Amino acid sequence: MNENEAEKYTGMLEMMGFVPAVDMENADFILFNTCCVRENAELKVFGHLGALKGLKREKPWLLIAVAGCMMQEPHMVEDIKKKHKHVDLVLGTQNIHELPQTIYERLTREKSIINVYDTERYIPEGMPLKREHPYKAWLSIMYGCNNFCSYCIVPHVRGRERSRELSDILDEARYLAEDGVKEITLLGQNVNSYGKTLEEKIDFSELLYALSKVDGIQRIRFMTSHPKDISNSLIMAMSELDKVCKHLHLPLQAGSDKVLKEMNRHYTKQRYLEIVDFARSKIPGLALTTDIMVGFPGETEQDFAETLDVAKRVEYDLAYTFIYSIRKGTPAAEREDQIPEEEKKSRFQRLLEVQDAASLKKNMEYIGKTEFVLNEGKSKTNSDINTGRTDTNKIVNFKSKEDTAGQIIKVRITDAGAWSLEGETV
Ligand code: SAH
Ligand code: SF4
């Protein structure tokens, strides 16, 4: 979602006549698009801001902006005002579309401008956007979150869940298709509750059917799908619709029922495994990926063993693994039974070992198979090599004599590592 929002900032700046600078030192405008889901990302932003104090002294005309969900944390704007007076403008997550007018205000009023709403407003539509990839696009279908998982800051900084109108989503998909996009990834904190805030009754699987009819769009992906709300109709839509990719990102977070309850996730280990079995039985060749967190307050060695057990049983294609990070304002942050850093790190390492072995094993199964790959063009690091993804979202590096960038082509997989596959065009 952050990447999608960054594309919106870039789109607006481009329309205003800005061009990309070669590096920070040469820029006249610098915008930090922040994320507050974990503390590490926040610390980095402060590091960058501190480092820019000198540059701002040398170049007083330099404008520094900070945007993104970190700016929605109540204490953050005060911190910026007190400790980072060289920041020129601050934008909240509801104020993305106000970037141009905020720059204008800053230039005409000669003082720092803070533009942060703390309540949800209308959903702005039709914002210009500068895509990072020519052939694939992010498409946000909803904003905010109502789930209040006890560790998570997202509902506090992104407000209540609200869905975009079907017609707006279809318009954007058609526009993207005309612009050469072959693959869209639908974004939402919990796509399974898409449509709940709309007057016209529609659910997520119906949205997939509608989007499948858009000519030119050849692949549809989505994330994230919360296990508590996943429906049989979604699994059926995935199995029936050719354009919907055979990949399900289903965050586990933890394997212990006790921890899941305290996280406020509303499913059990058994229910989660049942969903996995059902999805695999209906969608042959399905790739499964997940998010897993270790070191939630009160997590015992036994609790952690349950997480490892799920990881071993499911054998995820890929897992995004995190060390629990205390987020001020969330219930889990108040708990006194926080897990010592050393223990968290050791569990994290043990989880990685299990997961890396599973990723490699899953990828090895592709060797010798022929896959449909959307050729995304030349690899950034080696211009002899093309890179693309399979339907199941595996990265494939391959040599191709013809220029087939932007096309879905057949590639025979010749080798595999834990992170990517290698192949040759057929
Ligand atoms: N809406 C998505 C998650 C968005 S946040 C969902 O429910 O799955 C992305 C991931 O960050 C989460 O799945 C979780 O694993 C991780 N995360 C969220 N809060 C965290 C915290 N306080 N510490 C560590 N990881 C966290
Ligand atoms: Fe955070 Fe839970 Fe909402 Fe995901 S569903 S954004 S983890 S509160």
So where are the chain's domains? 2-115, 131-245, 247-364, 370-425
- Encode pLDDT of 53-94 as tens digits: 999 999 999 999 999 999 999 889 999 999 999 999 999 999
Ligand 2 atom nearest residue 190's Cα:
5
Query: Among 1, 37, 267, which is best to mutate for testing ligand 1, by the most ligand atoms less than 8 A from CB?
Result: 37
Q: Whose CA is nearest to atom 4 of ligand 2?
A: 189
Residue 147 CA: which ligand 1 atom is closest? 7
Pick the CATH number of 131-245 from 1.10.600.10, 3.30.70.100, 3.40.50.2300, 3.30.750.210: 3.30.750.210
Per-residue pLDDT at 120: 80
Torsion 368-372-376-378 (CA) sign: positive
pTM strictly above 0.85:
yes
Mutate to test the pocket of ligand 2, among 93, 187, 189, 263 (most ligand atoms within 8 A of CB): 189
Asked if domains 2-115 and 247-364 share a fold, the reply is no
Smallest CA-to-CA distance from 123 within 193, 191, 198, 211 is with 198
Q: Please report the pLDDT score of residue 86 as a whole number.
A: 95
Interacting residues of 211 by C-beta distance below 8 A, sequence separation 6+: 169, 170, 173, 184, 186, 217, 220, 243
CB of 325 closer than 6 angstroms to any ligand 1 atom: yes
Write down the CATH number for the domain with range 2-115.
3.40.50.12160
Cα(274) to ligand 2 centroid in Å equals 21
Binding site membership of 38 for ligand 1 (Cβ less than 6 Å)? yes
Q: Are 123 and 164 in contact (CB under 8 A)?
A: yes
- Rounded to the nearest angstrom, the distance between the alpha carbon of 214 and the centre of ligand 2 is 30
Q: Which residues contact 196 (CB under 8 A, 6 or more apart)?
A: 161, 163
List, for residues 307-346, the tens digit of each pLDDT value.
Answer: 999 999 999 999 999 999 999 999 999 999 999 999 999 9
CATH class of 247-364: alpha beta
> In this predicted structure, what is the pLDDT of residue 12?
97
**CATH architecture group of domain 370-425:** Beta Barrel (2.40)
Tokens 């920070």 correspond to 24
Give the three-state DSSP class for 423.
Answer: strand
Tell me which of 226, 250, 262 to substitute to probe ligand 2's pocket, judged by most ligand atoms within 8 Å of the beta carbon.
226
Amino acid identity of residue 64, one-letter, is I
Residue pLDDT, tens place only, 206-260 = 999 999 999 999 999 999 999 999 999 999 999 999 999 999 999 999 999 999 9
151 CB-contact burial (10 Å; exposed 0-12 / middle 13-18 / buried 19+): buried
Ligand 2 proximity of 145 Cβ (cutoff 6 Å):
yes
pLDDT of residue 383: 83
